[in-house]
Amino acid sequence: MQQKIMFILTLLLSGRAMTLLFIHRAGGTMPGDPPIAWLMPLIGDAVIGVSALWIAYLILKKTGLWAWTTIITWNALATWDALSAFIIHLTNPWPEFFMINLLGPSMFFAASFMHLVIIILACRPEERNRLLG
């Protein structure tokens, strides 16, 4: 069950790849363009979102210290990225972003929470033993 939860959360977090659509607009002058300060969080989200599919594969199919370490490290970096984006949001708001309009700043904490749940589940003895093989 823990494996399925980790897998589903990782697939949900692959949605962070949608920021690929906005990277080229960072610092633009058109309405709705993200401030230039958002460039690094957008790139971070894109990398996290695209690599989520590989992490989901690791969760389902791979074992060994390298797989477990990769899963933990990916989620730790992704948590840091989401919380960093929240700080950028506070200092350089991007009010036109539809996700902020829809969920407000809670979206940063929701993503962080999902990543932390994956870390917690991956560190539970049963799941850690399964992943470590």
The 10s digit of each residue's pLDDT in 110-125 is 999 999 999 999 999 9
- 96 pLDDT above the threshold of 80: no
Please give the sequence-ordered ranges of beta strands (E in DSSP) within the chain, or none if there are none.
none
Over residues 77-104, the mean pLDDT reads: 82
- Of 24-38, 39-53, 62-76, least confident by mean pLDDT is 24-38
CA distances from 75 to 1, 14, 27 (A): 19, 12, 28
Residue boundaries of the structural domains of the chain? 2-132
Output the pTM of the full model: 0.87
Return d(Cα 44, Cα 34) in angstroms, integer: 15
Q: What per-residue confidence (pLDDT) applies to 95?
A: 65
What the block records as the tokens of 97 is 């972003």
- 101 pLDDT above the threshold of 80: no
